[in-house]
Structure 1
Amino acid sequence: MRTESTGYIVAVCLRRGHHFSKTPSLSIRLLAGLGVEGDGHMGALVQHRYDRRRDHARPNLRQVHLIPSELFDELRAKGFTIQPGDLGENVTTSGIDLAALPTGTRLHLGKSAVIELTGLREPCVLMDRFHEGLKAATLDRDADDNVICKAGVMAIVVADGEVAPDDTIGVELPEGQRRPLEPV
């Protein structure tokens, strides 16, 4: 399927261990089937502490966390000061409405990395521990009163590659019937 370059990477972040925020880096390496090399959420099986306690043998659908930089602008207008990595994302993007993409969309990052979107990041209580009121600020409602999660999207890595700020992002939509992203 045809891939179009529609956005770019603003920042890349990682952090060893399980922490809410991640540290901006000059580049990150994505490893197929595992995630971000050296990151606390890297692994073929679920790494999120809460989910791992429930079922440690589930596949890791949260290998890479992406947030659009446009969310930071929206949060600034609400009085929050958020920088890349603060919300735990590995990749901060610009120019792509990530949450509007369907499940299974492939994003081509930089020269060779490819990730596949698995779902939405559901805002959690840790957001309020980071900054009071942040969880509510990343939730919204559509015209039908359905909850909209704006805390980013999750993905798995399907092709290795080095990723850095200013790299382009190509979007490859899935073939066939498309399903909207749901929380994972």
Structure 2
Amino acid sequence: MTASRVAAVSRDEFHRFSKEPAESITLVAGLGVLGDAHAGTLVQHRSRVRRDPNQPNLRQVHLLHREVFDEARGLGYELAPGDLGENVLTEHLDLLGLPTGALLDLGGPVVRLTGLRNPCAQINDFRTGLLKVVLSRADGTPTDEPPPSTASLTSATPPVIRKAGVMAVVERGGTVWPETPITVTLPDAPRVPLGPV
């Protein structure tokens, strides 16, 4: 089995959909990625700031599995690091299968998983139809129907599988470099599956 690793890192000081690939990123405990628009102790995502600017920032670091690029390619989309707004692109790690609270050691810096990224229609603004790559119905069929708001986790619509990555907070700061091995520490049982944040 191939070891889990950091494939690429990205950041952007502005609130844009994609982020700029970088040689390395610096994580700051309790804040996020140094120089990134989403860093802060309180929520930084613009739609969430409008709802309540005093919410804790559970989305300091966005991690995405590189394997979703293979799925995208199979549907006719070429993606590159940073395109989907991730800070850390991983490889050989089932991010979506990890529980809430899992710790990922990224070569010294450590992040704690808080939940799933809830993909929105902005993905289709970036590339028409791309939403169906990161959303599928429970039976595995792609869908480009946006999931219900994260404000309500219950809905009458059929369940969807979110594949747009996971969100995390920084527990221990430091520099993250591509090619760095990733070590996972699972929380004590009972473990809670990741939900949208």
Is TM more than 0.5 here? yes
Gaps of 5+ in 2: 141-157
Contact 2:71 2:133 in 1 (8 A): no
Partner of 1:79: 76
Matched to 2:126, the amino acid is F
1:60 pairs, out of 57, 67, 90, with 57
Question: Which structure's residues are more often strand, by fraction?
Answer: 1
Q: Distance in 2 between matches of 1:47 and 1:14?
A: 14
Give the one of 98, 113, 124 matched to 1:101: 98
Q: What's the secondary structure of 2:4's corresponding residue?
A: strand
Matched residue pairs, number?
179
Regions of 4+ moved over 6 Å:
none
Shift of residue 146 of structure 1? 2.8
Among 7, 11, 18, the alignment partner of 1:10 is 7
CA distance, structure 1, for counterparts of residue 52 and residue 104 of structure 2: 28
Match of 2:35 in 1: 38
Tell me which of 148, 159, 163 is aligned to 2:176.
163
8 A Cα contact 1:70 1:94, kept in partner: yes
Aligned to 2:166: 153
> Are 2:113 and 1:117 equivalent residues in the alignment?
yes
1:147 positional shift: 1.0
What's the TM-score once normalised by structure 2's chain length?
A: 0.88
> How far apart are the structure 2 equivalents of 1:142 and 1:58?
30
Q: Deviations over 1:126-172 (max 9, x none)?
A: 10000011112211123496310000000000001100100110000
Amino acid at match of 1:176: A
Contact 1:6 1:170 in 2 (8 A): no
Structure 2 CA distance, aligned partners of 1:152 and 1:176? 23
- The separation in 2 between residues aligned to 1:124 and 1:81, in whole angstroms, is 19
Residue 42 of structure 1 aligns to a residue whose secondary structure is coil
State the TM-score, normalized to the length of structure 1: 0.94
- Cα distance in 1 for partners of 2:14, 2:21 equals 15
Sequence identity of aligned pairs in percent? 52
* Cα distance per residue 1:36-76 (max 9 Å; x no partner): 00000000000000001100000000000010000001100
Give the structure 1 partner of residue 23 of structure 2: 26
Give the CA RMSD over aligned residues: 1.3
Deviation at 1:6, TM superposition (A): 4.2
